[in-house]
Amino acid sequence: MIKVYVSSVIEAPADAVWAQIRDFNGLPKWTPFVAESRIEGGLAADKIGCIRNFRLKDGGVIREQLLTLSDYDFQCTYSILESPMGVENYVSTLKLTPVTDGNRTFAEWWAEFDCAPEREGELAQSIGEGVFQVGLDALKGLFRR
Partner 1 sequence: MIRVTRSAVIDAPIERVWAVLRDFNSHTAWHPAVGESEIEGGDPPDQVGCVRRFTLRDGNLVREQLLALSDPEHVSTYCILDATLPMRRYVATVQLKRVTDGDRTFWHWQSTFDVPRGREQEFEQRVGVGVYEGGFEGLRAYLRRGLDRRATGSPAQAPGAAGDLPSRGIIVSNFGGPEVLQYRPLSAPAPGPGEVRIRQTAVGVNYIDVYVRAGHYRMLEPPAPLGMEAAGEVLDVGEGVTHLLPGDRVAYACPPPGAYVSVRTMAAAQVVVLPDHVDDETAAAVMLKGMTAEYLLHRTHRVRAGDTVLVHAAAGGVGLFLCQWATALGARVIGTVSTEDKARRARAHGCEAPIVTRDHRFAHAVREATGGRGADVIYDGLGRAAAEDNLEVLALCGHWVSYGQATGPLEAIAAERLTAKSATLSRPVLFHYTAQRPALAEIAGRVFAALRDGNLRVDLRHRYPLAAAAEAHRELEARRTTGPLVLLP
The pairing of strands 104-114 and 88-99 is: antiparallel
Nearest to partner 1 of 46, 108 (CB atom): 108
- Rounded-to-integer distance, Cα 130 and Cα 63, Å: 18
Residues 68, 75 contacting (CB under 8 angstroms)? yes
Nearest to partner 1 of 58, 101 (CB atom): 101
Tell me which residues in 76-135 interact with partner 1 (CB under 8 A): 97-102, 104, 106, 108, 133
Residues 39, 51 contacting (CB under 8 angstroms)? yes
Residue 22 in contact with partner 1, rule: CB under 8 A: no
Residue 7 in contact with partner 1, rule: CB under 8 A: yes
Nearest to partner 1 of 6, 51 (CB atom): 6
Query: What one-character-per-residue DSSP string does 31-44 give?
Result: -SSEEEEEEGGG--
- Rounded-to-integer distance, Cα 34 and Cα 84, Å: 14
Shortest separation between residue 139's beta carbon and partner 1, angstroms: 11
Shortest separation between residue 78's beta carbon and partner 1, angstroms: 21
**Which residues sit at the interface with partner 1, rule CB under 8 A?**
5-9, 97-102, 104, 106, 108, 133, 136
